[in-house]
Amino acid sequence: MISVDHLAVSYGSPSRPTRVVNDVSFSVGANETFGLIGESGCGKSTILGALAGRNTHWTGHITIDGETIGAKRTRAQLALQQMVFQDPFGSLHPRHTIGRILLEPLEIHGLDDRQTRVEAVLRDVGLPVSFRYRFPHQLSGGQRQRVAIARALILKPRILLLDEPTSALDVSIQAEILNLLKDLRQRENLTFILVSHDMAVIAHLCDRVAVMQNGVFVETVTKTQILNGEVTHPYTRVLMDGSRGYTARKPAADLQISAEAQG
């Protein structure tokens, strides 16, 4: 479904460009979820921007569903893949109702049966049809992210580009959104690219994951390899250790130092 060869993205002036993504290549099969993980600033979201057409300053070769994609896209090419952003409040217009937010993509692409489509997509993401009359500030964070997913789905894309879709949500709500995305992928035969800095989120949803550091891929592993700890690059191990959290138990040496300090 997606093929990326020798993708490079630079920012800044032509005389002194800053390379953010450097010679990245990967492919994603139909109905697969491919993950991109790494620390902030490593280039994950920049790759999504190039795929989505938001960033036109790239070199390399991108193929979507067998069609070569350039810097300029047709409406059909743009509709084929849609993006879900990190902040479910900042990505929704605060003065538009949910219904108006969902109608806008349909108007831009000249699609008919708009009211029916709005009602159907709200049901698809588990929201009552009556929510179309509400404003974003009247919804919880998880409900707002469901609206953002509905907006991405309303054009019937084949690919969703997910940029940290759960990082701004409470942990209990994160699981609901991840399970919703998993169900939608199976039901609609969607292909996902998921950007995250959390290895636990990646392992829950992704089939394969590319570990990214300083604009390059340092390792590409499967979900099974992650769960079994079968990774080779030191940076991948650092990310896995970070996702396990902290232990509440202090090392014996620290306890001894604390006792001496109190004494």
- How confident is the model at residue 245, as a pLDDT? 57
- How confident is the model at residue 120, as a pLDDT? 97
Number of domains within the chain: 1
Residue 172 lies in a domain: yes
Mean pLDDT to the nearest integer, 167-189:
91
Query: Binning pLDDT at 50, 70 and 90, where does residue 248 land?
Result: very low
Residue 122 lies in a domain: yes
Residue 17 lies in a domain: no
Positive/negative CA dihedral, 107, 74, 63, 22: negative
pLDDT digits (tens, 9 = 90+) for 36-48: 999 888 999 999 9
Evaluate if residue 185 carries a pLDDT over 70: yes
The owner of tokens 């993401």 is 125
What does the DSSP assignment read for 175-229?
HHHHHHHHHHHHHHT-EEEEEES-HHHHHHH-SEEEEEETTEEEEEEEHHHHHTT
Residue 135 lies in a domain: yes
Residue 251 lies in a domain: no
Residue 261 lies in a domain: no
Residue 13 lies in a domain: no
- Residue 116: which CATH number? 3.40.50.300
Residue 15 lies in a domain: no
Beta bridge partners of 35: 194, 209
The pLDDT mean for the chain works out to 89
Which range of 40-44, 189-193, 255-259 scores highest in mean pLDDT? It is: 189-193
Q: Tell me which amino acid residue 188 is.
A: E
Q: What predicted TM-score, i.e. pTM, was given to this entire model?
A: 0.88
Domain region containing 73: 30-55+68-246
Beta bridge partners of 83: 161
CA atoms within 13 Å, Cβ hemisphere of 26: 26
